[in-house]
Amino acid sequence: MTALLKLEGYTLTYPRQTEPALIDISLELAAGEKLAVIGESGSGKSTLARAVACLNPRGTCESGTISWPSLGRSAQAGSDFGMVFQDPGSNLNPVLRIGEQVAEAAREHLDLSWKEAEAVALDLLKKVQIPQPEAALRAYPHQFSGGQRQRIAIAAAIAARPRLLIADEATSALDTLVQAEIVRLIETLVTTEKMTLMFITHDIALASQLADRIAVMHRGRLVEIGPAEEIVANPRDPYTRHLLDTHIDLDDAPRISGGAA
């Protein structure tokens, strides 16, 4: 099957930097697949997501290729991929009504009138389970909680029915309960809308729950990629093993002895 997204020997150096932030990355993403990209801060996982989404700052030096084989052309933001970021605040324009922000992408890419696009936006808000979606269309971002803002950002990201949804630490700023809800929402949407998912996270446990495959990033390199259960059960790279060893799981024994002295 033709891959949706393909990186070959992709290297990226930020402007005014001497060390590359991504080094010789090669990977393929099949349509319908859920890929988690994991790593610690500075590993390059967000840089990778931004490079795929054509968000490199001006003056970035690149070599190698990022291609979209099944499209046969370069990808367009909105209709080919949508992106959700970590901070629910910065995902949305604070002075634009929710309805406008969600409708904008649909209007732009699906060639709809504002009225039609607004109907699409209402539909999307229902899909991401925003309470009182009609009222929400006319509300502003600050009127919603962090979790709800993230739902709205997801609605805007998928408004033009992209093939790929890129979630860059999209649940990391949320508390555990809301994180679990948003992860469930993303899973459902990816299945029902037949999207491909690139899920960037520092949480290897979350990655193992959600993804078909896991890619492990370390200091700009892709050190290991494989089926999620294999990465967890039989990591080949020492860094992957290190991540698993230092992961604190609810099933681990306590590190303190008994009660207080």
Return all residues near 74 (Cβ < 8 A) that are at least 6 apart: 68
Query: Which residues ranging from 37 to 66 are in contact with other proteins (CB under 8 A)?
Result: 40-41
Q: Which residue has the tokens 């001497």?
A: 18
260 part of the interface to other proteins, by CB under 8 A: yes
CB of 16 to other proteins, least distance (A): 18
259 part of the interface to other proteins, by CB under 8 A: yes
194 part of the interface to other proteins, by CB under 8 A: no
CB of 260 to other proteins, least distance (A): 3
Return all residues near 242 (Cβ < 8 A) that are at least 6 apart: none
In whole angstroms, give the CA distance from residue 104 to residue 75.
Answer: 19
Given 59, 73, 177, 192, the residue binding other proteins (CB under 8 A)? 177
Q: Which stretch binds other proteins (CB under 8 A): 20-28, 46-54, 217-225, 241-249?
A: 241-249
249 part of the interface to other proteins, by CB under 8 A: yes
CB of 41 to other proteins, least distance (A): 6
Q: Which stretch binds other proteins (CB under 8 A): 14-22, 155-163, 186-194, 252-260?
A: 252-260
Assess contact for 37 and 198: CB atoms under 8 A: yes
Q: Which two tokens stand for residue 68?
A: 């979209």
132 part of the interface to other proteins, by CB under 8 A: no
Given 128, 151, 228, 240, the residue binding other proteins (CB under 8 A)? 228
Given 137, 156, 160, 204, the residue binding other proteins (CB under 8 A)? 204
19 part of the interface to other proteins, by CB under 8 A: no
Look at phi and psi of residue 155 and say left if phi exceeds 0, alpha if psi is from -120 to 50, else beta.
alpha
Give how far Cα 171 sits from Cα of 81, 86, 147, 177, Å: 19, 6, 9, 10
In whole angstroms, give the CA distance from residue 18 to residue 23.
Answer: 12
195 φ, ψ to 5°? -100, 165
Assess contact for 182 and 215: CB atoms under 8 A: no
**Which residues contact other proteins (rule: CB under 8 A)?**
40-41, 145-146, 174-180, 202-206, 208-209, 228-229, 232-233, 242-244, 246-252, 254-256, 258-261
